[in-house]
Amino acid sequence: MEESDTSAILPRDFLSAPTSEDVCEAPVEAKDAEPRSRGTAGRPPLSCPLGVTVEPVLFLSMFSIVLQTPLYMQYVWERISVDVGYNGTRDRGCSDSNRLPDPAEQEVETLTAHWNLYINLGGFLVGLLVVTLLGSWSDHVGRKPVLIIANLGLAIQALVYLLVMYLRLPLVWFLVGRLLSSLMGDLNAIIAGCFAYVADVSSRGSRTFRVAVLEASIGVAGMLAGIIGGQWRQAQGCINPFWLAVATNLAAALYVYLLVPESVTPNPGGAQVFTCEHYRAIGRLYCSRSSGGQRRTSLWLYLLCFFLVVTVHSGSRDLYILYELSAPLCWGPELIGWGYATKYLAYLSSLLGLRTMQLCLADSWVALVGLASNIAGLVVFSVANTTALMYTGYGLCFLYLTSTPVLRSKMSKLVKVSEQGALFASVACVEGLCSLVSSVVFNSLYPATLPIMKGLPFLVAASILIIPVAIIGTLRCREQEPDSRDNPGTS
């Protein structure tokens, strides 16, 4: 598609003037401040009249993942309960927070946490290598092939999970399904491709909000999937919802092929996928001496903040269901579905909060407010022994997702247009590493701390977030100039 067609794809109200905070960041070449041009080879067979690009892709992919996660974890819980002879009764003693722990229930919790660890560990170890290749490869061949391949992989994973439940195969087949999906990129490749696409087509001034809109699509998908999955699970069991997961991934792949215009001009000769050049491109991004020292240092520090924040998000997310299934909360499928929906509602509240706070605060301070919201919610989760207190924690987290779009946007503004694919490939690898580390740490910490304090992992997570608070605050104070204090950014 020609450069003149960009305005037809992106609604003009998404764009805004560059912020004063952008001026404080390391300079990037003038040509990198504008969206990349697209060649005529990137024209899709059809055109979308709604002015959206990859937001529906991330929405459908995330809907599939969020629909599956609580269902397969509840299925694993039930299979293990049968194996260890635990009858699964939730009403006996659930109102008594001081009752002695049931050894059978603790064994089920521990084994379920360990299986979740094995599945995540295997999937993310494979995905860590594959996403790097696919993300950097997309700089040469375009974003669309990566998005299509990864969605087909997620559909295969859901089909394998269906076979496990229909045929009551051993639980290790859940790991097989996850590995097959990881070999094709998994969700991290979709996230990398979508954010790189938005960086391609957005201006510097609008990028933070465009990234936040993309993350909000994750929240809407999670909210709907949580509600639908919980109600459907209670009505018909675990199996039928997985057919919807297969359909949404296939629909996402078809949408990319038919309606998404390519955001980069593919190399005429194509590019190899399995080559070390993709790894070298990422190495040059962070270690090249041609890059300014201050820019490189800022990029490393923002990446560290991103790693810590996403590790806390992933680790705590793994524990919510286990925490809610067991005493003293003893939630059933419907309450778990509503809890998942409430948690993902924070994506929308964070988007609205980010846009509102940008009217009077620079992006860095917006991120700090989000981190404070996250810390407050985790502290409440650590002592939650009633449904009302658990929902209070969800309410305090209503701004906790304003930090990640700010960090993504800041990293994107520190690199050239031609490096966006390599950047978001590395960010996707960091996300995979976050999931790996969080699965190992939190799924091991949770059963180990059950005899001491059930909510202790949430306090550990809150403590970790103090580190990015200090880093972001320090970087902002170093970047700040007199004119930016007088006129805070509004992007």
Nearest to 188 by CA among 61, 60, 316: 61
Least confident range from 4-13, 135-144, 175-184, 203-212: namely 4-13
Q: So what's the pLDDT on residue 36? A: 46
Residue 27 maps to a domain? no
Residue 269 maps to a domain? no
Q: Token pair of 12, please?
A: 């003009």
Residue 327 maps to a domain? yes
Question: Into how many domains does the chain fold?
Answer: 1
**Taking the CB of residue 316, how many other CB atoms lie within 10 A of it?**
24
CB under 8 A, 24+ apart: contacts of 43-46 = 43/1, 43/261, 43/262, 44/257, 44/258, 44/259, 44/260, 44/261, 44/262, 45/257, 45/258, 46/258, 46/259
Report whether the peptide linkage leading into residue 328 is cis, meaning its omega lies within 30 degrees of zero. yes
Q: Percentage of the chain surpassing pLDDT 90?
A: 24
Residue 183: give its domain's CATH number: 1.20.1250.20
Q: Which domain holds residue 61?
A: 49-86+103-264+275-479
Query: How far is it, in rounded angstroms, from Cα 487 to Cα 19?
Result: 9
Residue 491 maps to a domain? no
Please, what is the angle between helix 103-141 and helix 172-183, to 10°? 10
Residue 75 maps to a domain? yes
Q: So what's the pLDDT on residue 324? A: 83
The whole-number average pLDDT for the span 62-71 is 88
Query: How far is it, in rounded angstroms, from Cα 120 to Cα 129?
Result: 15
Phi-psi region of 186 (alpha: psi -120 to 50; beta: other; left: phi over 0): left
Query: How far is it, in rounded angstroms, from Cα 473 to Cα 403?
Result: 12
Q: Does residue 1 register a pLDDT over 70?
A: no
The whole-number average pLDDT for the span 3-16 is 37
Query: How far is it, in rounded angstroms, from Cα 176 to Cα 186?
Result: 13
Residue 18 maps to a domain? no
Least confident range from 85-99, 301-315, 381-395: namely 85-99
Are the beta carbons of 220 and 348 closer than 8 angstroms? Answer: yes
Whole-angstrom CA distances from 189 to 33, 268, 382, 406 are 25, 23, 33, 20
Residue 16 maps to a domain? no
At residue 150, φ and ψ (nearest 5 deg) are -65, -40
Band of pLDDT at residue 488, cut at 50, 70 and 90: very low
Residue 383 maps to a domain? yes
Q: What pTM, to 2 d.p., does this model score?
A: 0.72
